[in-house]
Amino acid sequence: MEHHVTVGVDGSPESRAAARWAAREAVLRRVPLRLVHAVDWPLDPVFPGLGRQDVDRWADQALSEAARELHGRHQNLEITTRCLTARPAAALAAEAADAGLLVLGSRGLGGLVGFIVGSVAMSTVVATDTPVVLVRVADDPDGPGTDSGAEIVVGVDIHEACDRVLVFAFEEAARRDCPLRAVHGWEMPAAYSYVPFFDPDNERDIGRSVTHMVDDMLLPWRHEFPDVNVSHDVFRGSAGEHLVRASRGAGLVVVGRRVRRSPLGAHLGAVAHAVLHHAAAPVAVVSHD
């Protein structure tokens, strides 16, 4: 079942929205969907008196209800279920190893824009090299106000080799037949803060140079995906803040996560962290070297 879509299911409204989003994605990709539930046993003393049979019965019910609902919406979609006894983050990361995409639910901030990214979701994102999409209830594809043709926004960095990020974004735009907007933020070199008389022409020259570099970065993918309508937005300032603003009205925001190995473990960069916590659309995190 290589390249299937995997989604974490726990019976919560967030996971149900994630499952519906994942089912739509699986249909677009023409691949099977796998529903996964992980139980970190034993649950005592968090849930005293709750027996193993009760937990297993509840897990099976959450999976069967989700599968039944999705079968009703997508009769031709192949759906399988798996219930695992393991720490959820580790189990989901392991399940993602042979998947093309992992989808997780994330709690929205009430009337505010953004996500509450729980420890399981955050730990899973940094534990797998498979692309991960975080979905809130507000991102439910069957909910009110959802625009399936909304643009995809991708953050690019001219200083990183982000081919995996770009190919993911272009493929998603091609599947949805929607526009793609590349966003890049840049800052003046630190040395300029010590220059007593700053020439504004220098800033304009740097801006033009950065724009040309972004054009060059996108050029191979424009040729490979000629039907994708691509634009780019190059600006001076924080890339995270601009991506968060661009997420309003977007169908998906794609950000990269550079794989860094350290004694303290894997972690997210500042841009991905900001977007994950404040974006107003589903967020895809794609690892790259």
What percent of the chain is modeled with pLDDT above 90? 41
Both 108 and 41 in one domain: the answer is: yes
What percent of the chain is modeled with pLDDT above 70? 78
Both 16 and 139 in one domain: the answer is: yes
Both 282 and 156 in one domain: the answer is: yes
Both 114 and 214 in one domain: the answer is: no
Both 170 and 154 in one domain: the answer is: yes
Token pair of 52, please?
């193993």
pLDDT value, residue 108: 46
Both 139 and 183 in one domain: the answer is: no
Both 90 and 165 in one domain: the answer is: no
pLDDT value, residue 87: 81
Spatial distance between the Cα atoms of 39 and 44, rounded to a whole number of angstroms: 12
Both 135 and 153 in one domain: the answer is: no
> What CATH number does the domain containing 281 carry?
3.40.50.12370
Both 280 and 222 in one domain: the answer is: yes
pLDDT in tens, 188-228: 666 555 555 556 666 778 778 889 999 999 999 999 999 99
pLDDT value, residue 2: 54
pLDDT in tens, 89-129: 888 888 899 999 999 988 644 433 444 456 677 788 888 89
pLDDT value, residue 277: 83
Token pair of 183, please?
């966003």
pLDDT value, residue 55: 64
- Domain of 2 in residue numbering reads as 1-144
pLDDT value, residue 28: 93
pLDDT value, residue 10: 84
Look at 56-65, 66-75, 93-102 and tell me which has the smallest mean pLDDT: 56-65
Report the domain count for the chain: 2
pLDDT value, residue 260: 62
Residue 119, amino acid: S
Q: Are strands 252-258 and 283-288 parallel, antiparallel or unpaired?
A: parallel
230 vs 261 pLDDT, higher one: 230
Which of 122, 144, 166 represents a domain boundary (last residue)? Answer: 144
Confidence of residue 21 (pLDDT cuts 50, 70, 90): very high
What integer is the mean pLDDT of 157-169? 89
Both 118 and 161 in one domain: the answer is: no
pLDDT in tens, 138-151: 777 766 545 567 99
169 vs 44 pLDDT, higher one: 169
Q: Are 250 and 201 in contact (CB under 8 A)?
A: no
Both 153 and 272 in one domain: the answer is: yes
202 vs 158 pLDDT, higher one: 158
113 vs 54 pLDDT, higher one: 54
Which of 112, 144, 176 represents a domain boundary (last residue)? Answer: 144
Spatial distance between the Cα atoms of 64 and 214, rounded to a whole number of angstroms: 47
267 vs 176 pLDDT, higher one: 176
pTM: predicted TM-score of the whole model, two decimal places: 0.85
> What CATH number does the domain containing 89 carry?
3.40.50.620
Both 61 and 135 in one domain: the answer is: yes
* Beta strand residue intervals within the chain, DSSP E: 4-8, 33-39, 79-85, 99-105, 107-108, 115-116, 132-135, 152-155, 180-186, 230-236, 252-258, 283-288
Is the pLDDT at 31 greater than 60, yes or no? yes
Confidence of residue 44 (pLDDT cuts 50, 70, 90): very low
